[in-house]
Structure 1
Amino acid sequence: MVRLLNTEDFRTKARKYLPKGLFEYIDRGTEAELAMADIRQSLDRIKFRQSVLTGNEAFDLSTTLFDQTYPAPLIIAPTALAGLVAHAGEAKLARAAGRLGIPFCVSTQSVTSIDDIRKSAPEADLWFQLYVWKNRDLTWELLERAARAGATTIVITADTPLSPKRDYNQHNGFSVPFVPTLRGICDVLSRPTWLSAVMMRYLITSGMPTYAHYPAAFQTAITRLAIAEDVKIESGLCWDDLDEIRARWRGNIVIKGVLSVEDSQHAVKIGADGIVVSAHGGRNFDMAPTPVDVLPAIVEAVGDKIAIMADSGIRRGSDVLKYLALGGRSVLVGRLPLYGLAAGGEQGAYDVLSMLIDEMHSNLVFAGASSLEAFKKNAIA
Structure 2
Amino acid sequence: MVRRQVPKPAELRELMQFKKPQLNGRKRRLDAALTIEDLRTIARRRTPRAAFDYTDGAAESELSLRRARQAFADVEFHPSILSDVANVDTSTTVFGGPSALPFGIAPTGFTRLMQTEGEIAGAGAAGAAGIPFCLSTLGTTSIEDVKAANPHGRNWFQLYVMRKREISYALVERAAEAGFDTLFFTVDTPIAGARLRDKRNGFSIPPQLSLRTVANAIPRPWWWYDFLTTPKLEFASLSSTGGTVGELLDAAMDPTISFEDLKVIREMWPGKLAIKGVQTLDDARKLADFGVDGILLSNHGGRQLDRAPIPFHLLPDVVREVGKDVEVSVDTGILNGADIVACIALGAKFTLVGRAYLYGLMAGGREGVDRTIQILTEQVVRTMKLLGAHSLEELTPAHVTQLVRLAPIPRP
How far residue 107 of structure 1 moved from its aligned partner, in angstroms, is 0.8
**Candidates 96, 118, 121, aligned match of 2:125:** 96
The answer as to 2:64 corresponding to 1:64 is: no
1:201-253, Cα deviation, whole Å (9 max, x unpaired)? 22xxx33x1111113xx2589xxxxxx79961111111221000011111111
Name the SS for the 2:72 alignment partner.
helix
Pair 219,165 (structure 1): closer, same or farther in 2 beyond 3 Å: closer
How far residue 135 of structure 1 moved from its aligned partner, in angstroms, is 0.4
The answer as to 2:98 corresponding to 1:52 is: no
State the partner residue of 2:302: 282
State the partner residue of 1:224: none
State the partner residue of 1:349: 369
Length-normalised TM-score, structure 1: 0.92
1:51-110, Cα deviation, whole Å (9 max, x unpaired)? 222233221111111222221111100011111222231011000000110000001111
Distance 1:220 1:262 in 2: 38
State the partner residue of 1:246: 266
CA RMSD of aligned residues (A): 2.0
The number of residue pairs the alignment matches comes to 370
**Candidates 199, 203, 217, aligned match of 1:170:** 199
Q: Is the 8 A contact 2:47 2:362 kept in 1?
A: yes
How far residue 360 of structure 1 moved from its aligned partner, in angstroms, is 0.8
Distance 2:56 2:223 in 1: 17
Distance 2:110 2:57 in 1: 15
- Structure 2 counterparts to residues 282-301 of structure 1, below 5 A: 282-301=302-321
Q: Is the 8 A contact 1:135 1:230 kept in 2?
A: no
- Structure 2 counterparts to residues 84-163 of structure 1, below 5 A: 84-163=113-192
Distance 2:228 2:173 in 1: 32
State the partner residue of 2:229: 201
Q: Is the 8 A contact 2:344 2:395 kept in 1?
A: no
How far residue 272 of structure 1 moved from its aligned partner, in angstroms, is 1.3
1:227-285, Cα deviation, whole Å (9 max, x unpaired)? x7996111111122100001111111111111111111121222211110012221211
The answer as to 2:43 corresponding to 1:14 is: yes
Distance 1:125 1:145 in 2: 15
More displaced stretch, 89-98 vs 285-294: 285-294
Runs (5+) with no aligned partner, structure 1: 222-227
Runs (5+) with no aligned partner, structure 2: 1-27, 403-412
The answer as to 2:235 corresponding to 1:211 is: yes
Name the SS for the 1:106 alignment partner.
strand
Name the SS for the 2:366 alignment partner.
helix
The answer as to 2:383 corresponding to 1:378 is: no
**Candidates 351, 360, 363, aligned match of 2:380:** 360
Length-normalised TM-score, structure 2: 0.85
Name the SS for the 1:380 alignment partner.
strand
Matched residue type, 2:375: M
Distance 1:219 1:44 in 2: 38
**Candidates 262, 281, 300, aligned match of 2:282:** 262
More displaced stretch, 93-102 vs 318-327: 318-327
Pair 33,317 (structure 1): closer, same or farther in 2 beyond 3 Å: same
Distance 2:339 2:330 in 1: 11
**Candidates 48, 55, 59, aligned match of 1:30:** 59
Pair 231,128 (structure 1): closer, same or farther in 2 beyond 3 Å: farther
1:314-366, Cα deviation, whole Å (9 max, x unpaired)? 11100111111221100000001111111111111011111111111101111
Distance 2:131 2:374 in 1: 11
Name the SS for the 2:273 alignment partner.
strand
Q: Is the 8 A contact 2:206 2:242 kept in 1?
A: no
The percent identity for this pair of structures is 37
Matched residue type, 1:371: S
Q: Is the 8 A contact 1:174 1:184 kept in 2?
A: no
Distance 1:278 1:325 in 2: 18
Q: Is the 8 A contact 2:204 2:242 kept in 1?
A: no
